Amino acid sequence: MAADPSTSTTAAPAFASDANSTESWSARVRSLTRLGRHREALALLRDGDPYPPPHALALPAAVISCTALSLPSGVAQIQALGYKRGLLPSSDAYLLSALLSSHSRLGHLRRAHQLLDEMPLASTPPTTLRTAFNSLISGCAMHALPAACFAIFRRMRAAGAPFDAVTLMTLVPAAPHTAVPQLHALAGKTGLAAETTVANCLISVYARRGAGLARQVFDEMPVASRDLVSWNAVISAHAQNGLAVDTLDLYGRMRGHDGVGVEPDAVTLVGVLSSCAHLGARSVGRGVERYMQERLPGFRANLQLCNSLINFHARCGSLPQAQQLFNEMPRRSIVSWTALIAGYGMHGHGDVAVNLFQTMVSEGIRPDNVAMVGLLSACSHAGLYDEGRKYFSAMESAYNLRPTLEHYTCMVDLLGRAGRLEEARELISSMPMPADGAVWGALLGACKIHKNVEMGEEAFEHVIKLEPTNAGYYVLMANIYTDTGQLDGVVRIRAMMRERGLKKEPGCSYIEHKGRVHLFMADDHSHPQAKRIYELVIKLEQMVKEKTDGTAGTEGGRAVEGHSQKASGPLIGFHSEKLAVAFGMLNTDDSEIVVIKNLRVCGDCHTFLKTVSAIANRAFLVRDASRFHRFEGGACSCKDYW
DNA sequence: GTAGGGTTAG
């Protein structure tokens, strides 16, 4: 074995004055292995003085180094040496475990089993048995052989070998989800569930199927036994399952009293930033960014963390910051590109998104399904009909990607909003898989824009079969009837909703001011400044009415939120975004007012905000459920296409 | 000295 010249030179001085006993020689091998300098470790073992022969302490390290370098013949040599010196089949637990793990990692599971079979079960100490079985189980887990893991575990118990936290930590992630509660119960019975590592493992595995059980395990842990990994696991569990508010709540607790002695790391922040991005929680996210700059100086080298930050900025209205971060990254992944592409898409800059995508491809990055969703939705938001169609068909022909339901949803949205409703419906019938609620919902949304009752009814029929409890679709259909003057239809839909006990999701908007979040619901009077806010909205309504008199039309949407039975009343709607914007106007001078909203902006509010941006000479950036609208000088960045 | 837990984009 030749030493790697680039690293062996650095190794020499450290050991130059070392004694020549076999122990210190072995210690040198072990330490090189631990440092990941595997070639040097093996070179030392091989080229060192063969007499006296290497101490037993060097052998497990040598096995690890051979494994890391994928050298099965080296492993075999060491194993032979182990037999020759009587360390095997069972007297040196460390060598045994290292060999079992090595054979399993290298995919030689039969050899691993043989080694286990040779062990004299009766005369081997239980702790040695335990590590031996654990090693083999973990090897099988690494090769995604869950059945083998459990077969060995049964054998382990039959042999009377005790299992421990490591056993459970290896089995739990390998187990089919239905078996996890049984392992959990076993952990409880044996007291192993109290081990932090076992609990952490249960949290992360439960998290794959919702946050509920993960949270329960976390909550049941004694506060003092929660370590950084516990917090990261529970925070990620909520972030991954879309529970952004709970994620931030947990983060707050971690930073406060409950997390004493635990400092967030990059993993924590990845989950937190993702939730900030979803919520539009700008001040929390900026706090995270400051924390990174102050406490994690090397964060730019952390791809995942940078990607999360790009996504955060892009989705929270700071495209320039997202772009700058992207430019400064030493290394980028497809995730970095996708976050930026989707960000430009959300802001209506479809052309930029398409250019970025082209650059990405020209740099040799092959698009994946997620990148295509970002690109197609960017085309959709910008009305780039031809590009959207081109890239959709390129998925299969150029990139060997099979379109998923999400891609079809984007395309139905793109075609439908472009007014090509028939084409959109044809696309649905050509799909190789059954359409889901989102696909039909996209068609329904397009029918709302183009006031097409017949096709809307067809889409509605499908969508409520697939998602009978999603109130948003009923509201959409009702709005189509409202817009086309079919009030009997509106009544019918309302009756359906009542019968089914469905309530439309309340609209809410929020704005951050001086580090605090000000949340507004439709027709909400709870804000301390409510009186002034309403006075301003009413005054602006009046001004807007005068300015747009006769030209505003009845741009639908008044049934979207709030008390829409007043739809026939005066043209005053206290939708949440109007309240939030008014609050911003009252409390700031000339900066851009940023509002985050949970539902789509309705046509009335859209007209209102455009006009007010001109009257008051202010810029408003509103993120609604699907994209950004930037209102300035009487126009919106969506060019009224949304 | 051996076996080993948490991570992003739509």
B5 C1' – A271 CA distance, angstroms?
17
Nearest protein residue by Cα to C1' of nucleotide B1: A57
In a domain, residue A328? The reply is: no
The closest nt to A304, taking CA to C1', is: B8
In a domain, residue A583? The reply is: yes
Is the pLDDT at A13 greater than 60, yes or no?
no
Question: Pick the residue with more confidence: A552 or A64?
Answer: A64
B2 C1' – A61 CA distance, angstroms?
10
Three-class DSSP category at A148: helix
Is the pLDDT at A8 greater than 80, yes or no?
no
B1 C1' – A27 CA distance, angstroms?
9
Is residue A517 domain-shared with residue A630, that is, in the same domain?
yes
Query: Domain range spanning residue A454?
Result: 404-499
B5 C1' – A277 CA distance, angstroms?
27
Single-letter code of the amino acid located at A436: D
The closest nt to A314, taking CA to C1', is: B9
B4 C1' – A137 CA distance, angstroms?
11
Is residue A431 domain-shared with residue A517, that is, in the same domain?
no
Alpha helices in A418-529 (DSSP H): 421-429, 437-449, 453-466, 471-483, 487-499
Residues 6+ apart with CB under 8 A from A220: A199
Residues 6+ apart with CB under 8 A from A429: none
In a domain, residue A460? The reply is: yes
In a domain, residue A421? The reply is: yes
The burial of A565, by beta-carbon neighbours within 10 Å (0-12 exposed, 13-18 middle, 19 or more buried), is given as exposed
Is residue A512 domain-shared with residue A451, that is, in the same domain?
no
Is residue A533 domain-shared with residue A628, that is, in the same domain?
yes
Q: DSSP of A570-613, one letter per residue?
A: -S----HHHHHHHHHHHH-SSSPEEEEESSPPPHHHHHHHHHHH
In this structure, of A9-13, A344-348, A445-449, the range with the lowest mean pLDDT score is: A9-13
Nearest protein residue by Cα to C1' of nucleotide B7: A267
Is the pLDDT at A557 greater than 60, yes or no?
no
The closest nt to A228, taking CA to C1', is: B6
C-alpha torsion A191→A192→A196→A198, nearest 10: -140
Q: How many domains does chain A have?
A: 2
Structure tokens at A57: 């302490």
Is residue A490 domain-shared with residue A553, that is, in the same domain?
no
Question: Pick the residue with more confidence: A199 or A17?
Answer: A199
Is the pLDDT at A566 greater than 80, yes or no?
no
When pLDDT is cut at 50, 70 and 90, the band that residue A215 belongs to is: very high
Is residue A467 domain-shared with residue A579, that is, in the same domain?
no
In this structure, of A49-53, A181-185, A551-555, the range with the lowest mean pLDDT score is: A551-555
Say if residues A229 and A200 touch (Cβ distance below 8 Å): yes
Convert A325-366 into a string of H (helix), E (strand) and C (coil).
HHHHCCCCCHHHHHHHHHHHHHCCCHHHHHHHHHHHHHCCCC
Handedness of CA A234, A239, A242, A248 (dihedral sign): positive
Nearest protein residue by Cα to C1' of nucleotide B2: A94
- Closest by alpha carbon to A376, among A384, A368, A367? A384
In this structure, of A81-90, A213-222, A240-249, A276-285, the range with the lowest mean pLDDT score is: A81-90
Is residue A495 domain-shared with residue A520, that is, in the same domain?
no
- Closest by alpha carbon to A470, among A495, A426, A500, A512? A500
In a domain, residue A561? The reply is: yes
The strand pair at A516-521 and A635-636 is best described as unpaired
Question: pLDDT value at position A118?
Answer: 86
Is the pLDDT at A556 greater than 50, yes or no?
no
B1 C1' – A180 CA distance, angstroms?
32
Residues A535-562, mean pLDDT to the nearest whole number: 69
B10 C1' – A41 CA distance, angstroms?
46
Please name the residue that has the structure tokens 């030749």. Answer: A2
The burial of A532, by beta-carbon neighbours within 10 Å (0-12 exposed, 13-18 middle, 19 or more buried), is given as middle
The strand pair at A628-632 and A593-597 is best described as unpaired
Is residue A535 domain-shared with residue A632, that is, in the same domain?
yes
Question: pLDDT value at position A16?
Answer: 36
In a domain, residue A150? The reply is: no
Is the pLDDT at A622 greater than 80, yes or no?
yes
Longest dimension (CA), chain A: 102
Structure tokens at A54: 């290497």
The closest nt to A132, taking CA to C1', is: B3
Output the domain CATH number for residue A418: 1.25.40.10
Question: pLDDT value at position A392?
Answer: 96
The closest nt to A94, taking CA to C1', is: B2
Nearest protein residue by Cα to C1' of nucleotide B8: A304
Question: pLDDT value at position A2?
Answer: 38
Q: Which of these three, A479, A499, A519, is where a domain ends?
A: A499
Question: pLDDT value at position A119?
Answer: 83
Structure tokens at A102: 């090595």
Is residue A473 domain-shared with residue A534, that is, in the same domain?
no
The closest nt to A268, taking CA to C1', is: B7
Is the pLDDT at A613 greater than 70, yes or no?
yes
The closest nt to A306, taking CA to C1', is: B8
In a domain, residue A228? The reply is: no
B5 C1' – A263 CA distance, angstroms?
18
Other beta carbons within 10 Å of A634: 13
The DSSP letter of residue A505 is P
Question: pLDDT value at position A24?
Answer: 75
B1 C1' – A377 CA distance, angstroms?
55
Is residue A421 domain-shared with residue A461, that is, in the same domain?
yes
Instruction: Return mean pLDDT, chain A.
Output: 89
The burial of A178, by beta-carbon neighbours within 10 Å (0-12 exposed, 13-18 middle, 19 or more buried), is given as exposed
Residues A200-211, mean pLDDT to the nearest whole number: 94
Convert A290-302 into a string of H (helix), E (strand) and C (coil).
HHHHHHCCCHHHC
Is residue A492 domain-shared with residue A517, that is, in the same domain?
no
Q: Which of these three, A464, A499, A534, is where a domain ends?
A: A499
Bases of strand B lying below 7 A from some protein CB: 1-10
- Condensed to tens digits (0 to 9), the pLDDT of residues A454-501 reads 999 999 999 999 999 999 999 999 999 999 999 999 999 999 999 999
Q: What angle do CA A494, A498, A503 make, to 5 degrees?
A: 85
The DSSP letter of residue A124 is S
- Condensed to tens digits (0 to 9), the pLDDT of residues A374-408 reads 999 999 999 999 999 999 999 999 999 999 999 99
- Condensed to tens digits (0 to 9), the pLDDT of residues A284-335 reads 999 999 999 999 888 988 999 999 999 999 999 999 999 999 999 988 999 9
Distance (Å, whole) CA A454 – CA A476: 14
Q: How far is CA A542 from CA A420, A445, A572, A574, A623, in A?
A: 37, 30, 9, 13, 25
Nearest protein residue by Cα to C1' of nucleotide B3: A135
In a domain, residue A539? The reply is: yes
Is residue A512 domain-shared with residue A625, that is, in the same domain?
yes
Question: pLDDT value at position A505?
Answer: 87
A576-587 vs A603-615: helix crossing angle, rounded to 10: 20
When pLDDT is cut at 50, 70 and 90, the band that residue A515 belongs to is: confident
Handedness of CA A103, A107, A111, A114 (dihedral sign): positive
The DSSP letter of residue A468 is T
In this structure, of A15-19, A370-374, A508-512, the range with the lowest mean pLDDT score is: A15-19
Question: pLDDT value at position A45?
Answer: 83
Phi, psi of A639 (to 5 degrees): 50, 35
Q: How far is CA A500 from CA A319, A408, A469, A474, in A?
A: 42, 29, 8, 11
Q: Which of these three, A499, A522, A541, is where a domain ends?
A: A499
